[in-house]
Structure 1
Amino acid sequence: MDRLITHLRHVDLAVPDYERQLAFYTDLWKLSPESSDAGIAFLAAEGSPEQYQVRLRADTEKRLDLIAFGAETAADVDALAEELRAQGVTLVSTPDKLQTPGGGYGFRFFDLEGRTIEVSSDVAVRAHRRVEEGESVPVKLSHVVINSPQPEALVAWYDRHLGFRLSDTLTSPHMGSMMWFLRCNPQHHSLAIARCPHVSLHHASFELRGIDEYMRGTGRLLRAGVEKVWGPGRHLAGNNTFSYFLDPLGNTVEYTTELERLDEDLWHPHLYDFTDPQVSDQWGTANPMSEFVATKSFNDPDRGVFVAPPV
């Protein structure tokens, strides 16, 4: 199929401890509260034209509300909705005007494992700015990684239905393939899928301006006593830097920079053995990849599958 998805827009989280989560993502993670209402906040990245890149919604239970992607035109949105319907994918809503900040035209559907996915076009561009040298604030949402108990089937689903292409795979001699990096544009990955006992969010990653800004942001979180899971280091797959932290509810969030851009016509996926220390961290500065690191990123089982968020 032709690829109708152009890029990642935002990730939406339901959170029980709403005020504490909001304080973390604004005061420490340095997202900007673009608009908010009672129990819901839309948080933007300073360098991004997207209206918001994280939505927080107060709820009694923690869950991943949805992942949103962009399409170029309303016609593409309609075409994708029609393709998905014809292929038996469950639509949560049909294409229509969106009521979220920036408006636009879009629809929602369930992926193979019941996550809610939104695709939209014609969302108004947010007044954004160039992030300056030394500013350790997110430029944009880089990518989202999800956990799956049937990752091979889920990778095939995103390829078949949404046109995502495989960039690289992480594997090991003992456990087999463990993570698949998928792209919807020349960026090495906008989505990745990790093997896990249950459906959940693995992590959401935010691009900083450069190495210095990435290290300053990492240091700010360390000084504030935020629990670090892994990093700082530089992965081989994607060639990007990484520092993983836990938000107050145990969701893993990452600061990164310099994620690789590919020549899609020439690229051939690699199979990387992550038991090689150079694969996990080219610099050798991060704590070793361990069961602790893996388990932290399993997150809590998401009990919101096949249940569309109320907003």
Structure 2
Amino acid sequence: MRNRSLITHLRHIDIAMPNFAEQRRFYTELWGLTETAGDTGVSFLAAKGSPEQYVVRLREDAHKRTDLIAFGAAGADDVDTLTTQLTSQGVQLVHEPKTLDTPGGGYAVRFFDNEGRVVEVSAEVSARRHRKVEAREPVPVRLSHVLMNSPTPKATVAWYITHLGFRLSDTMTLGDRGEIMWFLRCNTFHHSFGIVRGPHAAFHHASFEMRGIDEFMRGTGRMQRLGIERLWGPGRHRAGDNSFSYFLDRAGNTVEYTTELEILDEDTWHPHLFDLRDPTNADQWGTANEMDEFIAAKSHNDVDPGLFTAPPM
């Protein structure tokens, strides 16, 4: 059974870690996000060009984990409809739809995906007053997409298509190793979410959209001058046609600056298979350092200890 998509967009990614102060400083002073709310051991971080109340939530915890991935719906009725569908399909809820007490409020349901990640779908969240990011300003405009590692990737891709109505945009392959990366969309952006074949379930990377190529390159250069470990890039992907520069945050999560992510025509688009043995499928420009097993292993990340365990907030 495939549901009509009730998901409109990606809202935020919430992560926890022991080194909270370092992470907070990384995302605010170095990466370019703005703290809009917070309390002891928690910080809500917005992108300057986004109406979302926050695109990243940091939470101090004894263990590093992904707290949740949050998506938007058009209205409260859609949240209720989705909840009914999920319940009828045997999806385990974290909680029934209820009013949120996070910045901007709203109405949301939370549930576990097939591998135990917590997913939130919300509506009626108040928009944040934001501003246009100016030319040459190297700060994120919005959260672009989030990818997750999965040891059972085909089942996980099928779960998001079946239960949440995501559509497959493109798939990356690696010769006789087969399919290794799946890009999923919930609107006309090429992807807002994706799954990567990995040794265990874990956060793969979060990507932040910059104003344009100049701002993307300025942000990339700023991070390099600050001595932040660069994993891969700058380059330009084939799938999604977006630019990329990948770095590691202070907890070892991979984060990306990107821009110009492809916008698709839903009526004419057909998914492609791109083989990474052709280097132009990984980087059309040919400017990035070569992707190797060492770099890939960094984005495999640590085993997530929070699977099938709801975060405390």
TM-fit CA distance, 1:148: 0.1
* Residues in 1 aligned to 2:129 and 2:257: alpha-carbon distance in whole angstroms: 23
TM-fit CA distance, 1:174: 2.5
Q: 2:191 aligns with which of 171, 189, 192?
A: 189
SS of aligned partner of 1:14:
strand
Counterpart position of 1:286: 288
TM-fit CA distance, 1:100: 0.5
* Residues in 2 aligned to 1:156 and 1:248: alpha-carbon distance in whole angstroms: 32
Counterpart position of 2:254: 252
* Residues in 2 aligned to 1:95 and 1:15: alpha-carbon distance in whole angstroms: 27
Q: 2:128 aligns with which of 111, 126, 129?
A: 126
Q: 1:137 aligns with which of 136, 139, 161?
A: 139
Amino acid at match of 2:308: F
Amino acid at match of 2:253: N
Q: Given that residues 175 and 276 in structure 2 are in contact (C-alpha distance below 8 angstroms), is that contact kept between their aligned partners in structure 1? A: no
Are 1:90 and 2:84 counterparts? no
Counterpart position of 2:307: 305
The within-5 A match list for 1:1-311 is 1-311=3-313
* Residues in 2 aligned to 1:32 and 1:156: alpha-carbon distance in whole angstroms: 35
* Residues in 1 aligned to 2:232 and 2:284: alpha-carbon distance in whole angstroms: 14
* Residues in 2 aligned to 1:91 and 1:173: alpha-carbon distance in whole angstroms: 38
* Residues in 2 aligned to 1:44 and 1:271: alpha-carbon distance in whole angstroms: 34
Alpha-carbon deviations, 1:229-261, whole Å to 9, x = none? 100000000000000000011000000000000
Alpha-carbon deviations, 1:7-41, whole Å to 9, x = none? 00000000100000000000000100000101000
* Residues in 2 aligned to 1:268 and 1:142: alpha-carbon distance in whole angstroms: 21
Structure 1 runs (4+) deviating above 3 angstroms are none
TM-fit CA distance, 1:5: 0.3
Q: Indicate the percent of aligned positions where both proteins have the same amino acid.
A: 64
TM-fit CA distance, 1:172: 1.6
Q: Given that residues 147 and 196 in structure 2 are in contact (C-alpha distance below 8 angstroms), is that contact kept between their aligned partners in structure 1? A: yes
* Residues in 2 aligned to 1:160 and 1:174: alpha-carbon distance in whole angstroms: 27
* Residues in 1 aligned to 2:95 and 2:102: alpha-carbon distance in whole angstroms: 14
SS of aligned partner of 1:5:
coil
Aligned pairs, how many?
311
TM-fit CA distance, 1:90: 0.3
Alpha-carbon deviations, 1:94-151, whole Å to 9, x = none? 0011010000000100000000000000000000010000000000000000000000
SS of aligned partner of 1:308:
coil
Q: How large is the Cα RMSD of the aligned pairs?
A: 0.5
* Residues in 1 aligned to 2:61 and 2:98: alpha-carbon distance in whole angstroms: 26
* Residues in 1 aligned to 2:97 and 2:47: alpha-carbon distance in whole angstroms: 26
Amino acid at match of 2:9: H
Q: Given that residues 202 and 300 in structure 2 are in contact (C-alpha distance below 8 angstroms), is that contact kept between their aligned partners in structure 1? A: yes
Amino acid at match of 1:292: F
TM-fit CA distance, 1:173: 1.4
TM-score by length of structure 1 reads 1.00
SS of aligned partner of 1:306:
coil
* Residues in 1 aligned to 2:32 and 2:109: alpha-carbon distance in whole angstroms: 29
TM-fit CA distance, 1:170: 0.2
* Residues in 2 aligned to 1:188 and 1:74: alpha-carbon distance in whole angstroms: 26
TM-score by length of structure 2 reads 0.99
User: Structure 2, unaligned stretches of length 5 or more?
Assistant: none
